[in-house]
Amino acid sequence: MRFATYEHHHRPCVAVVEEDGTLYPVPGARSLTELIRTGDGLPGLLDAGAAALDVPPGPHVSQVRLLSPLQPSSVRDFVTFEEHVEGVRRSVNGASGVPEQWYAAPTFYFTNPHAVFGPSDDIPMAPGSAALDYELEVAAVIGREGSDLTPEQARDHIVGYTVFNDWSARDLQSAEMKVGLGPCKGKDTATTLGPYLVTADELEPYRDTDGFLRLALTAEVNGQVIGRDLLSNMSWTFEEMVAYASRGTRVVPGDVLGSGTCGNGGCLAELWGVRGRQDPPPLRPGDTVTLTVEGIGAVSNTVVAGPDVLPLPAGRRRGRERP
């Protein structure tokens, strides 16, 4: 099933999306996040969807404004594509190749769950940035709580998948990471999720013999194709990522785990690293980015001007006075 969250009379509504685009509102559902949290993983969500198909249909998807399918409990963004690592390292800090430590575990960072945008929302420039970039990813959504999971156990904890655009202010990111932490404000302004949450069972036909989802990925800027890749080029499966995320802690319903950016033009910075110049140029207000994932759908967002930077003083060079 495909689930959407849309705006109706200035209120969010949750619905099942049929193949023809008709929306069937889920009875009693105030949010998809709540629906996931109160159900028992995928079976509970499918039961709620089946109940929706027994009620009169709502509007067509073309008649509403789609919102982000859910408001995440947390957002972990992984980096699982070698080609992306190679290109972006060269672009951000001039390094070459893939660090050997990268192969040891599926590395991730936490990003902002309070800056999530819908599949057609305008995206503001990060304050102070002149080098905005898109990042084409797929995200898994957790449907059941778990800790210290094996990859085999983790499969039952994934309720579905959605398209994920990890908008990145590359100039801010590059400066911040010289400190040895981050990215922080380089990734803090916007993340796009959508257009739907597609339940995990829907994508099983795309799974290859190694356990990866073989989905075609396409990135376009202003209608021009910039990147194409396959999700199956990941170096870890989503189940392995969930298992690692749960190690020594827990994953909970509503957590979002991004695949990391695909290669072959999955973002501009990768191409900048490969070509040695900013070609294509950074995104500017008025540019529209469309990311399409086979079996899930497309998100299309237009960049707009962001707020001005509010000044802060530089850090003080302090003495070493002791009490």
Residue 230: burial class (beta carbons within 10 Å; 0-12, 13-18, 19+): middle
User: Are 213 and 257 members of one domain?
Assistant: yes
**Using one digit for the tens of pLDDT, what is the confidence trace for 255-312?**
999 999 999 999 999 999 999 999 999 999 999 999 999 999 999 999 999 999 999 9
Alpha-carbon distance 287 to 26, whole Å? Answer: 35
**Using one digit for the tens of pLDDT, what is the confidence trace for 138-186?**
999 999 999 999 999 999 999 999 999 999 999 999 899 888 887 899 9
User: Are 96 and 187 members of one domain?
Assistant: yes
Structural domain total, the chain:
2
Q: In 3D, which of 16, 13, 5 has the Cα closest to residue 199?
A: 16
In a domain, 319, yes or no: no
Q: In 3D, which of 219, 178, 233, 230 has the Cα closest to residue 301?
A: 219
27 pLDDT more than 80: yes
User: Are 17 and 147 members of one domain?
Assistant: no
Alpha-carbon distance 65 to 62, whole Å? Answer: 8
In a domain, 127, yes or no: yes
Q: Return all residues near 182 (Cβ < 8 A) that are at least 6 apart.
A: 173, 176
* Residue listed under structure tokens 């290859």: 208
* Residue listed under structure tokens 């399918």: 69
First to last CA, the chain: 63
| DSSP calls for 100-148 | GGGGGS--EEEE-TT-EE-TT--EEPPTT-S-EE--EEEEEEE-S-BSS
Domain extent, residue 48, equals 2-67
In a domain, 311, yes or no: no
User: Are 196 and 217 members of one domain?
Assistant: yes
User: Are 160 and 235 members of one domain?
Assistant: yes
**Using one digit for the tens of pLDDT, what is the confidence trace for 209-248?**
999 999 999 999 999 999 999 999 999 999 999 999 999 9
In a domain, 323, yes or no: no
User: Are 101 and 194 members of one domain?
Assistant: yes
pTM listed for this prediction: 0.96
User: Are 250 and 289 members of one domain?
Assistant: yes
